[in-house]
Amino acid sequence: MLFAELSGLAAALCWTISSLMAPTLIQRFGPMRFNTIRITMASAILILICLLTQRFNGQLWGYLDSIILSGLIGIFLGDTLLFSAIHRLGPRRTGVLFATNAPMSILLSWLFFNEQLSLQQLFACAIVLSGVVIAILFGKRMSFRKSKALTQPTLSPSNNHAWEDTRGKLSTGIIMALGAALGQASGALLSKPAMLAGVDPIAVSALRVTAGALALLVAYSVFYRHKQAVDLLPLSQLNKRDYLGVFTMATIGMVIGMSLLVWGVGNANIGIVTTLSAVVPVLILPGLWITTGQRPAIGAWIGAILVVLGATLIILH
């Protein structure tokens, strides 16, 4: 189904916008506090939409257990790890690691739903993922600098933006990003039975996000609130613009983006939808160019061409 598969690309666009907005807001709120407020706002919006449009029905409650588990794994764990990784590695490097959720989804859907992909589809998915990796790994411009101790010029990053810096251990950031990818893939898989049964995707998203929000509120109240960094601003000192930014992110990334992904997973092959959603890192490149003023290297554009080619093969199959 063409539109269901395109939902992966639409979700990717939503997450790209969210990823570009995230670093500054995370810096002001702190990763855990930021994610708790963002998910809670998204939960309130989705529940209000469902109540106003009467989307909750008896069929939904039959899949309550799997939907709640999907929210706990995909949102509480997955989203928390994702934005913690963005804080540590920046949106570009986190993006390439998070893109592994596509092959993880393909493997999980094959193991648990016996979903088969044709050779052409597998080849197209491989092209997309290869393009994503190339775009991110070679997305940073390099310059030649001559060392005083060496006669040969050395290749080094050119005027790196702060988003390219690593905060804390690199290995910790990598583990967080990969954990986020696995959480996203597992969460999507767990929502599949409800979607196959014809349950409203927005209602499913509402329950998933609410489960994640409640878990985050408990975790924040019991653990993080007492151990947050001393240099973080108190909530009372954060301004209306900060809260509006988080609200906007919640609406674009969770309410729209996640609902599109859940709908796509229920109406198309999980592997294809998540592969198309994995183009976020490539979409981030022009956004980073605009935001930071640094033009991506030629390798980034080669990767983008491969992603477009692979996505086209998937859609035209």
Give the per-residue pLDDT at 206. 93
Query: For residue 95, what pLDDT band results from cuts at 50, 70 and 90?
Result: confident
Q: Is residue 246's pLDDT more than 80?
A: yes
What is the number of other CB atoms lying within 10 angstroms of the CB of residue 184? 29
Give the per-residue pLDDT at 142. 58
In a domain? residue 171: yes
Give the per-residue pLDDT at 144. 43
Question: Is 5 in contact with 273 (CB distance < 8 Å)?
Answer: yes
Give the per-residue pLDDT at 263. 83
Q: What is the mean pLDDT of the chain?
A: 80
In a domain? residue 84: yes
Provide the residue range defining the domain that includes 11. 2-143+153-316
169's enclosing H/E stretch is none
Give the per-residue pLDDT at 316. 65
Helices (H), the chain: 2-29, 31-53, 58-61, 64-71, 78-89, 91-98, 101-113, 119-137, 170-196, 201-222, 240-249, 259-267, 270-277, 280-292, 298-316
Tokens of residue 60, six digits: 């939904």
In a domain? residue 148: no
In a domain? residue 302: yes
How many domains, in total, are found in the chain?
1
- Structure confidence by residue, pLDDT tens digits, 181-231: 899 889 888 988 888 888 888 899 899 999 999 999 999 888 877 676 666
Classify residue 100 by its DSSP letter.
T
Q: Is residue 147's pLDDT more than 50?
A: no
